Structures are given as structure tokens and as C-alpha cells.
Amino acid sequence: MINYYTSQIKENISAIHFKEKHNRSTFFYIGMKYHTDKVFIHHYETLYEKYLSNYRDTSVRLLEIGLGCDMAQFVGASAQTWREYLGYKADIHFLEIDEHCGRRWEKIIGKPVRSEGNRFLFDYDFKHFF
């Protein structure tokens, strides 16, 4: 267990040096900024940085399922993390089956969310939030 945390600390220090060298925020720092469970709970930041960093500022397509209404963080923490990390060229969509959650997200972004009939499947093209 100690080795795992030592490894995480080393990776996070490496991320600091990456940011300083390239003047870009890493997934870890962006995730911390928005309090996403991808960083706080699951610790995916190292894998995401390793495998997805080449897709930053490209027209990559991403589908995120769920806005995280059942999480302790605020609604859409991952949505905001993905947008900032991947950049404005990325084609990012979010699906949410919980109508109440989708409506909460609508209030945050200030735009209506498309729904599929009465199934409450919200699909939001997250192009222009910031």
C-alpha cells in the first residue's frame, strides 16, 4: 500500500514538471479544479494522461455516460474536466437517463438539453460551455 502511494506521489510530481515544461494543465490538476471522481475517487489521471494526452486539441469524439448526480461532487464535474482537458475541438457528448439530473445540468449550463421522447435520455453536445 505504501509503495502505491509513493508511486502516486512520484507521478504527481512528474505531472507538476510536465505542466511547468509544457505550460499546460494535466488531467490531475484539471480534475482537482472541478472535483471529479475520476481523480478524487478512482485515480484514473495517470492512465488518462498516458493514453489520452495525444488527443488534446484534436477533433476527438468522446461519450461520457452519466453526469454524476449521485456523486458528492457537483453535477457535471467530469463534463467540465473533459472540456478543459481535451479542448474546444473535441466533440464531447453526455448521456444521462435521470431526468432530474439532466434538469440540474440544464440550470448549470444555462441551455436546454435535448431528450429522446419520454425516456429522459439526455444527450448534450458540450461544445460551448466556457
pLDDT in tens, 93-123: 888 888 888 888 888 777 766 666 655 555 5
Q: Is 62 within the bounds of a domain? A: yes
Give the domain extent around 114: 2-125
Q: Is 130 within the bounds of a domain? A: no
**Residue 121: predicted pLDDT:** 55
Give CA separation, 44 vs 64, 107, 111, in Å: 14, 28, 30
Rounded distance between C-alpha atoms, residue 121 and residue 12, angstroms: 37
For residues 86 and 55, the answer to whether their CB atoms sit within 8 Å is yes
Q: Is 50 within the bounds of a domain? A: yes
| Positions of the chain with pLDDT under 70 | 1-23, 72-73, 112-130
For residues 34 and 80, the answer to whether their CB atoms sit within 8 Å is yes
Q: Which of 70, 52, 75 is nearest to 126 (CA)?
A: 75
Q: Is 23 within the bounds of a domain? A: yes
Rounded distance between C-alpha atoms, residue 34 and residue 62, angstroms: 18
Buried b (16+ CB within 10 A) or exposed e, 6-19: eeeeebeeebeebe
Q: Is 114 within the bounds of a domain? A: yes
Number of independent structural domains in the chain: 1
**Residue 126: predicted pLDDT:** 55
Bridge partners, residue 96, by sequence: 122
| Whole-structure pTM value | 0.71
**Residue 76: predicted pLDDT:** 84
For residues 101 and 72, the answer to whether their CB atoms sit within 8 Å is no
